[in-house]
Chain A
């Protein structure tokens, strides 16, 4: 419990520490990785990955999205 309190205190401190002002980027960040795979397979893998993200949301987070 003490450890938890200490952790909360540390979190609290870091939240209050002066923060370098970062300007939010105006355009959305897009990261193009140029993964080269045949289109048909890519579509299939994409589907499999969507299913994976959905079924195993604990591996990817953001289940509420």
Chain B
């Protein structure tokens, strides 16, 4: 019996995740149109040049502050938030999961560690709320978003910053700090998109973050029977998976490497007075690579929207099935509340 490890999020979390994703993507597109302005000149131009881009960046930045503060407050004041906190603390199981993941890749383990499973042959309760990667994402993204919001606000009020640190160079150091910190997050988000988009069982997007747990019917058929396997052998691979995952994986790697190299070069105050194509130490390869990285982000944006479409579709199907007059037609396996969900692989 297979069981999908989705529906771990609450409705508030899924909505928050989508809003945060949208906001952060806009911040990335504008922020890196500024930082990598010689490689992403077209993006800078499309968004109205330096002034247009910085305006959008600030509006979305304020949105980020609202979202971050909302989330921190919610985690503190609600019992759910406080109880979830203990579940995201790193544990020995996470180290074991990392080691077993490597062994799995090398063929020395048959399965991924339960703490690393996104597709698991266990009841939802038996699989941890978050994998070790998920915990890392929560911690790293939380710290980075907070630091980015603070440094961003300091940069915004740069006369205040200059007064605080006495020199213009100090103010510029904050800009550099802000941009380089963002690069770490940019690379992490590319990985995040790859990880949740290219899992063969969930391709093209894992719905965990879009379909809230309250909407996921759980299997009650044979509770006594413990699953022997993950059940993945029952799933059919999507015909396009091998090609798409290979192309997208390559794009992810190229994108990460390129923004990493680009960030090493672009260390100064990144906004020139005049738009200068090739004004920095750019090269054709770096330009292509950084643009590929932006395509990876674009795919992430599309997948995020697609995840929301799937939720709406799921809601409609659930509603239809709950109409007493509607006979269960067995048409869509996802809505088979009482059926094993071994076939939910597509989503």
The answer to whether A and B belong to the same complex is no
A contacts, CB < 8 Å to B: none
B contacts, CB < 8 Å to A: none
